[in-house]
C-alpha cells in the first residue's frame, strides 16, 4: 500500500493485550457498554462510514452493469429505477479476462506474492532470535541500523538495482521481483519479529540451555512455535504490501504483469469504458480484502507489535 | 499455471534452501573450537538477513548517492549540477511545494479523523463499534491502485448535457452546478487536495486502530477523578486523554509522514503528476523512465532521504529510549 506500512519504533501506549478492532473490554471511557449511545454519535458515525464505503460500493455496482448503462447513467440510478436490476451482468468480468488479461495477471500476482511473503519469514526469524537471545559485539549498532532503515524510502535503491539486475540478466523475471521484495521487507520483518521475541520470557531459554539444548534446537523447538502470532502478522503485512505494490512491479516484473500493473494499464485507456475498469478494480482487490477480513486480528496485532512492552 | 507451479517450487525450494543454509551455518559454527563457536554463531544466524539488507538497501543507497553526482547515464561525474539544475527549475520547485503540502496536510488530518472516529466508535455498543471500525479500516487492504480505480470513478466527468456518471459530479450537478473536471483544477491546489483525500481514506483506519487502543488504555480512575472535579467531556478529552496518548499520536504521525513521503501510486495512477499535482516520488519515477536521467532521479531520492533525516533521528532516539525502559 503506497509504502505506508512502515511501522515506527515509537512506543505506543496500548493495553498489554493489544485490543483488536471492536474489543469487548468493559473499561471504556466512562460509558456503559450496554447503553445506547447518543443519537448524534450514531448519526455522525453512520455518515462517516457511508462516506468511506460508498465510493467502493459504486465501483462494485458499476462492475455488474452493462456497457451502455455504465457509460450513460450514474450507478446510483439503478436504485431509482429498480427495473435496471434485471440488467445486471457478469459480462464485464469475462471481458476483463479476455481483453485485459486479468486472469494471467491474477496468476502473476500470486506467483509474485507467495514466495515474496513466505521466504523472508524464516530469515527474519533467525535474525530476530540472534538479536533477542544472543549477545555479541555490535548488536545494538546493527539493531539501530535496521530501525533507521525502516524510514529509508526504498526508491533510493531502485537505480542501482536496475543496473545490477541488468548486468546479471535478471530484469523482467519473477526472481527479480521476489528478491527485491525480500530485501525491502527485511528491516520491517526483523524489527517486528525481534520486538516480539524480546517480550518472550528469558527463563524459557535459560532452562532450555540448562537442559543442554543448543541455540539451533531452542530456536526450532521453542522460539519459533512461540512466535507464530508475530510471524502471521508479518506475513499478512508483507502479503498485502506485495500484492498491492505497483512501483517494484512496474520496474522489475517485465512481462510478468501482476494485477496492479494490468489495472493501471486499463485505467490509462479510459476509452475501454468504466464497466471494465470497475470490474478490473474489484477483481484486483478481492484477494487482499478476503485476507484482511479473515486475518484482521493478526493484522491489528502486527500494527501494535512494535509497541507492546514486555 | 506453469507460473504458479514455479512459484510453489520457489516457496518450497526457498524455504528448504533457507533451512538447509541455517543448518549448514550452524554445523559450521559447531566445527569451531569451544568459545569461538559462541562468538561466531550470532553472526552466522544474522548473515542471510544482513546480506539481504546490505545488498538491497545499504549498498544501493550509497550507490545512488554517488550516481546523484553523475550524468544522466552515470558515466561521468558532474559535481552538484543535478542538484543545481533541479533546485533552480520552476517545475521541480513546484513538485517540492506539492510534497510539502502533502506533508503539512495529510498526517494531521489523518490523526484528526482517526481520533474523531476512535472516540465516537468507543461510545457504540461492541457490535456497532466492530462494524464501524472494520468498514473504515478496510481501505488499508484495498491498496493504492484499486483505490485509484475507485476514486477516478468518483471524480469522473462527462460533458455538460450528458448524464454524469462520477459520484462527485452527480452530486454537484444535482445541486445545479456545471460538471467540473475535478482533477484538472489546480487553483489553490484543489486537485492535490482531492488526491490527499484518497490517502486520508486509506490511512484513517490505521490511525483509528492505534489511537482507539491507546484511548482505551487511559486509566478510568483518572477520568472519574476529573469528572468528580466537574470537568466537562471536552476538557477531559483535550486535557487528559490527549496528553495521555501523546506518544501514540506521535507514532501515527511519523508512520503516516513516512507513507506520505513515499506516496507514488496514488498520484501516478490519478494524474501522473500532471495538472500541477506532481510529488517527489512520481517525479523520481518519470525522471528515471520517461526522461531516462539517472542523475536527476538519484538526486531526487537523495533529497527525499535528506528530508527524512529528522524523522530517522527521531525514530532511532525513540527506539533507544524504549530499549532503555525495557
The closest of A68, A123, A108 to B20, measured between CA atoms, is A123
Q: In A134-214, where does DSSP find H-type helix?
A: 139-151, 158-168, 174-197, 202-210
Which residues of chain B does A110 touch, with a Cβ-Cβ cutoff of 8 Å? 4, 7
pLDDT at A6: 44
What is the three-class DSSP state of A252? helix
Q: Give mean pLDDT, residues A295-306.
A: 72
B270-299: burial string, b at 16+ Cβ within 10 Å, e else: bbebebbbbbbbbbbbbbbeeeebbbbbbb
Report whether pLDDT(A18) > 90. Answer: no
> Is residue A278 in a domain?
no
The closest of B146, B148, B172 to B160, measured between CA atoms, is B172
pLDDT band with cut points at 50, 70 and 90 for residue A308: very low
Q: How many CB pairs under 8 A join A and B?
A: 457
- Tally the domains of chain A: 2
> Is residue A221 in a domain?
yes
Instruction: Give the percent of chain A with pLDDT over 70.
Output: 85
Question: Using CA atoms, how far apart are residues A2 and B196, in angstroms rounded to an integer?
Answer: 13
Pick from B22, B52, B216: which is nearest to A183 by CB? B52
Distances (CA, A) of B204 to A291, A300, B144: 20, 14, 14
Which residues of chain B does A296 touch, with a Cβ-Cβ cutoff of 8 Å? 134, 137
What is the three-class DSSP state of B181? coil
> Within this chain, do residues A80 and A143 fall inside the same structural domain, yes or no?
no
> Is residue A271 in a domain?
no
Interchain contact, B288 vs A55, CB within 8 Å? no
What CATH number is given to the structural domain containing A187? 1.10.3720.10
Residue pair A132/A194 in contact (Cβ under 8 Å)? The answer is yes
> Within this chain, do residues A113 and A80 fall inside the same structural domain, yes or no?
no
> Is residue A257 in a domain?
no
CA distance A30 to chain B (A): 7
Question: Using CA atoms, how far apart are residues A258 and A107, in angstroms rounded to an integer?
Answer: 8
pLDDT at A206: 86
pLDDT at A22: 41
pLDDT at A271: 62
Residue with cell 548517492: B65
pLDDT at B15: 85
> Within this chain, do residues A174 and A130 fall inside the same structural domain, yes or no?
yes
Interchain contact, B74 vs A163, CB within 8 Å? yes
Sign of CA dihedral A102, A107, A110, A115: negative
Mutate to test the interface with B, among A58, A123, A201 (most CBs of B within 10 A): A123
Per the prediction, chain A carries an average pLDDT of: 84
pLDDT at A45: 93
Report whether pLDDT(A32) > 70. Answer: no
Question: Using CA atoms, how far apart are residues B152 and B156, in angstroms rounded to an integer?
Answer: 6
pLDDT at A2: 39
Long-range contacts of A13-17 (CB under 8 A, 24+ apart): A13/A307, A13/B214, A13/B217, A13/B244, A13/B245, A13/B247, A13/B248, A14/A304, A14/A307, A14/A308, A14/B210, A14/B213, A14/B214, A14/B217, A14/B248, A15/B213, A15/B216, A15/B217, A16/A308
Q: Which domain holds residue A129?
A: 108-247+288-303
Mutate to test the interface with B, among A2, A71, A304, A306 (most CBs of B within 10 A): A2
What string of pLDDT tens digits covers the 326 residues of chain B? 777 787 788 888 888 888 899 999 988 888 888 788 888 889 999 999 999 999 999 999 999 999 999 999 888 999 999 999 999 999 999 999 999 999 999 999 999 999 999 999 988 888 889 999 999 999 999 999 999 999 999 999 988 888 899 999 999 999 988 999 999 998 899 999 999 999 999 999 999 999 998 898 888 888 888 889 888 888 889 998 999 999 889 889 988 998 898 889 999 999 999 999 999 999 999 999 999 999 999 999 999 999 999 999 998 998 898 888 87
Q: In chain B, where does DSSP find H-type helix?
A: 2-31, 34-53, 59-67, 81-88, 90-122, 126-137, 139-142, 144-154, 167-174, 190-216, 220-228, 233-236, 242-244, 246-262, 265-270, 280-289, 294-325
**Residues 6+ away with beta carbon under 8 Å from B86:** B92, B296, B299, B300, B303
pLDDT tens figures, A79-109: 888 777 888 889 999 999 988 889 999 999 9
Which residues of chain B does A163 touch, with a Cβ-Cβ cutoff of 8 Å? 74
What is the three-class DSSP state of B72? coil
Q: Give ipTM to 2 decimals.
A: 0.92
Pick from B135, B162, B323: which is nearest to A52 by CB? B135
Chain B residue with the nearest C-alpha to that of A132: B42
A138-156: burial string, b at 16+ Cβ within 10 Å, e else: eeeebbbbbbbbbbbbbbb
Residue pair B300/B283 in contact (Cβ under 8 Å)? The answer is yes
Q: Give mean pLDDT, residues A16-37.
A: 49
Interchain contact, A59 vs B149, CB within 8 Å? yes
Of the listed ranges A24-33, A61-70, A75-84, the one predicted with least confidence: A24-33
What is the three-class DSSP state of B133? helix
Residue pair A277/A155 in contact (Cβ under 8 Å)? The answer is no
> Within this chain, do residues A140 and A66 fall inside the same structural domain, yes or no?
no
CATH architecture assigned to B84-325: Orthogonal Bundle (1.10)
Question: Using CA atoms, how far apart are residues B267 and B263, in angstroms rounded to an integer?
Answer: 7
pLDDT tens figures, A127-139: 999 999 998 999 9
pLDDT band with cut points at 50, 70 and 90 for residue A270: low
pLDDT band with cut points at 50, 70 and 90 for residue A31: low
The closest of B134, B209, B226, B216 to A31, measured between CA atoms, is B216
Which residues of chain B does A284 touch, with a Cβ-Cβ cutoff of 8 Å? 143, 145-146, 149
pLDDT band with cut points at 50, 70 and 90 for residue A43: very high
> Within this chain, do residues A187 and A159 fall inside the same structural domain, yes or no?
yes
pLDDT band with cut points at 50, 70 and 90 for residue A165: very high
Distances (CA, A) of B320 to A10, A127, A147, B314, B324: 9, 19, 10, 10, 6
Report whether pLDDT(A297) > 60. Answer: yes
Amino acid at each position: 500500500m503506497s509504502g505506508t506500512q512502515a511501522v515506527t519504533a515509537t512506543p505506543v501506549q496500548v493495553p498489554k493485550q493489544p485490543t483488536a478492532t471492536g474489543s469487548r473490554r468493559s473499561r471504556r471511557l466512562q460509558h456503559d457498554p450496554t447503553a445506547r449511545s447518543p443519537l448524534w454519535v450514531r448519526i455522525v458515525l453512520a455518515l462517516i462510514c457511508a462516506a468511506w464505503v460508498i465510493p467502493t460500493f459504486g465501483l462494485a455496482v458499476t462492475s455488474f452493469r452493462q456497457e451502455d448503462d455504465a457509460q450513460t447513467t450514474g450507478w446510483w440510478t439503478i436504485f431509482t429505477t429498480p427495473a435496471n436490476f434485471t440488467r445486471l451482468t457478469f459480462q464485464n468480468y469475462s471481458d476483463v479476462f479476455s481483453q485485459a488479461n486479468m486472469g494471467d495477471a491474477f496468476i502473476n500476482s500470486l506467483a509474485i506474492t507467495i514466495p515474496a511473503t513466505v521466504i523472508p519469514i524464516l530469515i527474519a526469524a533467525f535474525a530476530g532470535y540472534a538479536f533477542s537471545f544472543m549477545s555479541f559485539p555490535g548488536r545494538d549498532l546493527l539493531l539501530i541500523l535496521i530501525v533507521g532503515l525502516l524510514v529509508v524510502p526504498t526508491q533510493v535503491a531502485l537505480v542501482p538495482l536496475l543496473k545490477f539486475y541488468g548486468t546479471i540478466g535478471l530484469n523482467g523475471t519473477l526472481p527479480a521481483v521476489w528478491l527485491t521484495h525480500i530485501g525491502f521487507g527485511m528491516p520491517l520483518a526483523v524489527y517486528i519479529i525481534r520486538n516480539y521475541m524480546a517480550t518472550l520470557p528469558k527463563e524459557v531459554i535459560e532452562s532450555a540451555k540448562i537442559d543442554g539444548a543448543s541455540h539451533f534446537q531452542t530456536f526450532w523447538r521453542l522460539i519459533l512455535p512461540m512466535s507464530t502470532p508475530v510471524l502471521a502478522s508479518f506475513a499478512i503485512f508483507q502479503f498485502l504490501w506485495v500484492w498491492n505494490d505497483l512501483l517494484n512491479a512496474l520496474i522489475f516484473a517485465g512481462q510478468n504483469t501482476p494485477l496492479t500493473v494490468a489495472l493501471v494499464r486499463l485505467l490509462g485507456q479510459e476509452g475501454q469504458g468504466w464497466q471494465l475498469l470497475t470490474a478490473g478494480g474489484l477483481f484486483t482487490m478481492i484477494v487482499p480484502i478476503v485476507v484482511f477480513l479473515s486475518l484482521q486480528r493478526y493484522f491489528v496485532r502486527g500494527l501494535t507489535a512494535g509497541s507492546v512492552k514486555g | 499455471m506453469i507460473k504458479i507451479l514455479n512459484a510453489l517450487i520457489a516457496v518450497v525450494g526457498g524455504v528448504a534452501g533457507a533451512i538447509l543454509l541455517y543448518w549448514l551455518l550452524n554445523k559450521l559454527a559447531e566445527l569451531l573450537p569451544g568459545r569461538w563457536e559462541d562468538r561466531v554463531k550470532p553472526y552466522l544466524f544474522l548473515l542471510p538477513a544482513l546480506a539481504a539488507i546490505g545488498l538491497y538497501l545499504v549498498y544501493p543507497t550509497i550507490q545512488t548517492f554517488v550516481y546523484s553526482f553523475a550524468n544522466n547515464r552515470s558515466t561521468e561525474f558532474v559535481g552538484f549540477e543535478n542538484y543545481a539544475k533541479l533546485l533552480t527549475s520552476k517545475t521541480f520547485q513546484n513538485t517540492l511545494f506539492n510534497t510539502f503540502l502533502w506533508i503539512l496536510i495529510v498526517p494531521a488530518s489523518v490523526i484528526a479523523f482517526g481520533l474523531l472516529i476512535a472516540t465516537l466508535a468507543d461510545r457504540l455498543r461492541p457490535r456497532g463499534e466492530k462494524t464501524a471500525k472494520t468498514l473504515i479500516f478496510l481501505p488499508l487492504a484495498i491498496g493504492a491502485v484499486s483505490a485509484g480505480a475507485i476514486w477516478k470513478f468518483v471524480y469522473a466527468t462527462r460533458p455538460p448535457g450528458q448524464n454524469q456518471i462520477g459520484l462527485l459530479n452527480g452530486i454537484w450537478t444535482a445541486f445545479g452546478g456545471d460538471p467540473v473536471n475535478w482533477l484538472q483544477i489546480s487553483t489553490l491546489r484543489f486537485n492535490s487536495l482531492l488526491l490527499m483525500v484518497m490517502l486520508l481514506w486509506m490511512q484513517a483506519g490505521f490511525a483509528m486502530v492505534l489511537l482507539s487502543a491507546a484511548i482505551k488504555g487511559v486509566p478510568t480512575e483518572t477520568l472519574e477523578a476529573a469528572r468528580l472535579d466537574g470537568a466537562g467531556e471536552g476538557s477531559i478529552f483535550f486535557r487528559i486523554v490527549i496528553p495521555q496518548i501523546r506518544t501514540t499520536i506521535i507514532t501515527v504521525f511519523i508512520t503516516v509522514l513516512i507513507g506520505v513521503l513515499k506516496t507514488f501510486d496514488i498520484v501516478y495512477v490519478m494524474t501522473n503528476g500532471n495538472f500541477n499535482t506532481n510529488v517527489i516520488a512520481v517525479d523520481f519515477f518519470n525522471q528515471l523512465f520517461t526522461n531516462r536521467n539517472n542523475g536527476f532521479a538519484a538526486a531526487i531520492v537523495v533529497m527525499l532521504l535528506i528530508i527524512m533525516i529528522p524523522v530517522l533521528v527521531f525514530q532511532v532516539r525513540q527506539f533507544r529510549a524504549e530499549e532503555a525502559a525495557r
